[in-house]
Amino acid sequence: MNDVVEDLTATLPPGAVSTDAETRERCSRDDAEWADYGLPAAVVFATSVDDVVQTVRIAAEHDIPVVPRGAGTGLSGGANAVSGCLVLSLERMTEVIEVNVAERYAVVQAGVLNDDLRRHVAEVGLWYPPDPASMSISTIGGNVATNAGGICCVKYGVTRDYVLGLTVVLADGRVAEVGRTTAKGVTGYDLAALFVGSEGTLGIVVEATVKLLPLGGREERAIVGYFRSLTDAGRAVAAVSSAGIVPSALELIDRTCLHAVAEWQGWDLPEGASALLLAKVDEPGDRGEELAGRIADAFLAAGGAQVEHAVDPEEVARLFAARRLAYPALERLGPVLTEDVCVPHSAVPEMLARIERAAADEDVVIANIAHAGDGNLHPLIIAPEGDDEAKRRAKRAFDRIVADCRALGGTVTGEHGVGLLKLPGAAAELSPVVLDLHASIKQALDPRGILNPGKAFPERSATR
């Protein structure tokens, strides 16, 4: 290992390689509670594509695993180190290389923060829609690695829908430019889509070309509904979907989250509110008014105890801030094990009811936030620090929620990625034939298995 560090130090710019204990510990894991991790031998902070190429080539020569890392905000263990590996951090690759206003795309390095890209392109009247709750602290490279979604994805789609092209460093150090900048293109396989969501197991994304939309032409209106039960809120979600309405956002926050945010921020809440649904439409004029009214009617018909409209931009932003603040507010209560299941719209009420039963049966606190408009639920399981028995009960609830999700026709991860935490669920969801396809693709692109080993899909031996 000393030889690897010496080679890296001699090849890369000064300060690029760190072996001090504090840095190795800080970069050894992401934000996933209870996911296993090891201590890397060194951390490389790349500032250019060539830094990544040289790091991968040296690692391949010495047969050392490489674990790519963005900002470390992941929630599934996808960036967790294996003992003795190299962690390759892209957090210093923060250049917005190009914004093409006429063709509506941007080329950015992997370490650019999602929110920084949004602000940058807004200056020229353009918009990058994918908006994970971590958008102020998560990188575009990390978003690509997990195919991140967000609040807007119910209408505007997820990261994959906006990736036109990628620059990827392969396991042998070669650089592949995949994708296109044209509106259409079917030359060859869609390799850009293959790398999106692959969690750094097939190649390391160093640059992304992303599609942009016009910023103007939208008039945002929010519809707020308070409900006396989580199941009623779920019925309202199903009602909006069955009515054929596609809001630009439809988010759920339950009582536990509401009270955590309200206590933290000093907000008042209506008496008896067990759940809050936040809907948003952005069609202009009469069409927006009509859709907002139909959503409000659906909320009331499903049992909404209090339904309000908000049009003022500051009020709309404040309401949706409650959704984005939910996770950090809950972290103040103790370690949070985050679920990421996705079910059909019609199954949302039943899935919420099953989550409540799992919490009661296992005697754990489960808070619920959700991208309810597309059935992507994030039950947040809280266990007191140091309480091993509570941790075991939380793990049982976690596994039960995964099983219930699959029983209702869902998938075990909607946007956080498989990482480490969802490997058992992925093993149950993916057929042996599909797992063989995964293994064949991995073997073709990374025959020595050095890129983020053990992540994204279960090895065939683990499923036999």
Rounded to an integer, the average pLDDT of 61-80 is 97
Residue 269's pLDDT is 63
How far apart, in Å, do the first and last CA atoms of the chain sit?
Answer: 34
Report which DSSP code applies to 396. H
pLDDT in tens, 349-383: 999 999 999 999 999 999 999 999 999 999 999 98
Top-confidence residue, 93 or 321? 93
Task: Tell me, yes or no, whether 296 and 257 share the same domain.
Answer: yes
Rounded to an integer, the average pLDDT of 423-428 is 96
Task: Tell me, yes or no, whether 308 and 341 share the same domain.
Answer: no
Quick one: pLDDT band at residue 342, thresholds 50, 70, 90? very high
- Evaluated on CA atoms 202, 205, 208, 210, the torsion sign reads positive
Residue 464's pLDDT is 36
Task: Tell me, yes or no, whether 10 and 108 share the same domain.
Answer: no
Quick one: pLDDT band at residue 304, thresholds 50, 70, 90? very high
Asked if 201 contacts 117 with a C-beta cutoff of 8 angstroms, the reply is: no
Question: Hey, how many other C-beta atoms are within 10 angstroms of the C-beta on 386?
Answer: 9
CATH of the domain at 182: 3.30.465.10
Residue 341's pLDDT is 97
Boundary residue ending a domain (89, 123, 155): 89
Helix axes 285-301 and 230-242, enclosed angle (nearest 10): 140
Task: Tell me, yes or no, whether 164 and 244 share the same domain.
Answer: no
Task: Tell me, yes or no, whether 49 and 103 share the same domain.
Answer: no
Task: Tell me, yes or no, whether 79 and 118 share the same domain.
Answer: no
Task: Tell me, yes or no, whether 125 and 60 share the same domain.
Answer: no
Q: What residues make up the domain containing 154?
A: 96-214
Task: Tell me, yes or no, whether 241 and 321 share the same domain.
Answer: yes
CATH of the domain at 234: 3.30.70.2190
pLDDT in tens, 214-263: 998 899 999 999 999 999 999 999 999 999 999 999 999 998 888 888 88
Token pair of 285 as six digits = 């004029």
- Contacts of 180 by beta carbon, 8 Å cutoff, 6+ apart: 164, 165, 187
Residue 271, pLDDT > 70, answer no
Task: Tell me, yes or no, whether 180 and 240 share the same domain.
Answer: no
Residue 463's pLDDT is 41
Task: Tell me, yes or no, whether 301 and 377 share the same domain.
Answer: no
Per the structure, the count of domains in the chain is 5
Least confident range from 129-138, 379-388, 428-437: namely 379-388
Boundary residue ending a domain (89, 111, 146): 89
Boundary residue ending a domain (170, 187, 214): 214
CATH of the domain at 23: 3.30.43.10
Task: Tell me, yes or no, whether 74 and 145 share the same domain.
Answer: no
Least confident range from 75-84, 186-195, 325-334, 340-349: namely 325-334
Asked if 411 contacts 428 with a C-beta cutoff of 8 angstroms, the reply is: no
Distance, in Å, from the CA atom of 383 to the CA atom of 395, rounded to the nearest integer, reads 10
Distance, in Å, from the CA atom of 242 to the CA atom of 255, rounded to the nearest integer, reads 25
Task: Tell me, yes or no, whether 24 and 70 share the same domain.
Answer: yes
Q: ∠ CA 423-452-379 to the nearest 5 degrees?
A: 40
CATH of the domain at 403: 3.30.70.2740
